[in-house]
Homo-oligomer: A and B are copies of this chain.
Amino acid sequence: MKLRIHVTLKPGVLDPQGKAIEHALAGLGFAGVNGARVGKLIELDVAEGTADADIDAMCRQLLANTVIENYRVEKA
């Protein structure tokens, strides 16, 4: 079973990498970029029938830092 896990910074958490992208796009001449935030996209291939609770535990224990990051699991 393929999972796609989106890990994004919580609103309010500073994102220097996003800021760098925003400035770099402006520097390249792309006007109208008002914000950029960078997160992680983790594609996992887990055994068929893996429980949602296990997937959640993987995210909490390893994949996302829930103090500053949100995560969303998408089954593909």
Contacts and interface: CB of A to CB of B under 8 A. Distances in A.
Q: How many copies does the complex hold?
A: 2
A31 B46 CA distance: 8
Interface string A18-48: 1001001100101111111111111111110
Contacts of A58: 25, 28, 30, 33
Contacts of A35: 43-45
A6 B42 CA distance: 10
Contact of A41 (B6, B47, B61): B6
A33 B44 contact: yes
Interface of A: 6-8, 18, 21, 24-25, 28, 30-47, 50, 54, 57-58, 61-63
